């Protein structure tokens, strides 16, 4: 299988550029096998990630830029010299066996990535600061992680595992993989997941500082204490976890919903 490496380096632009010039088409990445499903992997330090499905057969990448993170005083003119605003990029992509890995090594500039992928594509996306993650219209297995921002999946199909530290999670499924376990977790934020009405699932949900809501007819299972007896040490432990457990449409794969400070909404469409 072929392996493609693309590197972009745009060196300088002056500080009087217009807002329109801070958005740029970076590159398109062809797939080794365009008729087969692929996978997109993005790990970045800061900035948003927006992924949308389209009818093409390549991965198309565009970027827009936020302000730089300067490590000096803004008014430091270096003896009257004019400062040239740096826009050096260090963004690349590698493709092998239909897996496209976008490498964004920017550390001094918030870079927002807008990516178009074929509809049947799996995703592994993560960002840490100053950005949200959104996905629209993709069909595949999705693993999405954010530390300080929201996660929004709109009109997606397949399966998803999402977690964020500070931000809401909202997922709307058109259809789901009927055999896939899924998990949706936030530390500070609401978790709102919209499933097809035909969902079959074993639900495990917990909100420490919020409430749990659903419009499904869910059969709630009574929690039983977990007993752990150690004969060698003579200890006997009893633990009762504050999880809500239930079955939707007779049960199925496990669906885990968790937030510490927020509400959980399990909705049907």
Sign (positive or negative) of CA dihedral 173, 41, 149, 191: positive
Instruction: Using alpha carbons, list the distances in angstroms from residue 41 to 15, 92, 95, 96, 121.
Output: 32, 12, 10, 12, 11
pLDDT at 65: 75
36-49 tens-digit pLDDT? 999 999 999 889 99
Note the pLDDT tens digit of each residue in 133-154: 999 999 999 999 999 999 999 9
pLDDT of 21 strictly over 80:
no
Burial (Cβ within 10 Å: 0-12, 13-18, ≥19) of residue 17: exposed
Least confident stretch, 63-67, 168-172, 190-194, 249-253: 63-67
Residue 155: its pLDDT value, please?
Answer: 98
Distance, CA of 6 to CA of 23 (rounded, Å): 19
pLDDT band, residue 85 (cuts 50/70/90): low
pTM, rounded to two decimals: 0.83
Structure tokens at 250: 């007779």
Q: Report the SS3 class of residue 251.
A: coil
Task: Express as a percent the part of the chain with pLDDT over 70.
Answer: 78
Separation of alpha carbons 230 and 225, rounded Å: 16
Q: How far apart are CA 176 and CA 37, in angstroms?
A: 16
pLDDT in tens, 147-175: 999 999 999 999 999 999 999 999 999 99
Mean of all residue pLDDT scores within the chain: 86
Tell me how many domains the chain contains.
1
Which domain does 34 fall in, by range?
3-268
The length of the chain in residues reads: 269
CB 60 within 8 A of CB 41: no
Split at pLDDT 50, 70, 90, the class of 221 is: confident
The answer on pLDDT for 19 being more than 60 is no
pLDDT at 223 over 80: no
Q: State residue 14's pLDDT score.
A: 35
pLDDT at 16 over 50: no
Give residue 115's pLDDT: 98
């Amino acid at each position: 299988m072929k392996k493609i490496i693309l590197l972009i380096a745009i060196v300088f632009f002056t500080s009087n550029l217009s807002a329109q010039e801070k958005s740029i088409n970076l590159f398109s990445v062809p797939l080794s096998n365009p008729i087969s499903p692929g996978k997109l992997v993005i790990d970045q330090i800061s900035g948003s990630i927006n992924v949308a499905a389209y009818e093409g057969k390549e991965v198309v990448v565009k970027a827009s830029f936020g302000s730089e993170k300067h490590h000096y005083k803004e008014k430091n003119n270096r003896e009257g010299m004019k400062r040239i605003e740096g826009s050096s990029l260090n963004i690349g992509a590698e493709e092998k066996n239909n897996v496209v890995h976008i490498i964004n090594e920017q550390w001094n500039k918030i870079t927002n990535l807008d990516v178009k992928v074929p509809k049947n594509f799996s995703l592994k996306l993560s960002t840490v600061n100053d950005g949200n993650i959104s996905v629209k219209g993709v069909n595949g297995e999705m693993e999405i992680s954010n530390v300080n921002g929201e996660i929004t999946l709109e009109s997606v199909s397949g399966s998803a595992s999402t977690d964020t530290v500070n931000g809401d999670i909202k997922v709307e499924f058109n259809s789901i993989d009927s055999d896939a376990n899924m998990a949706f977790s936030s530390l500070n934020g609401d978790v709102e997941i919209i499933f097809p009405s035909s969902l079959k699932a074993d639900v495990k949900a917990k909100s420490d500082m919020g409430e749990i809501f659903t419009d499904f007819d869910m059969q709630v299972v009574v929690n039983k204490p977990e007993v752990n007896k150690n004969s060698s040490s003579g200890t006997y432990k009893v633990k009762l976890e504050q999880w809500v457990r239930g079955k939707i449409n007779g049960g199925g794969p496990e669906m885990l919903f968790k937030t510490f400070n927020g509400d959980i909404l399990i909705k049907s469409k």
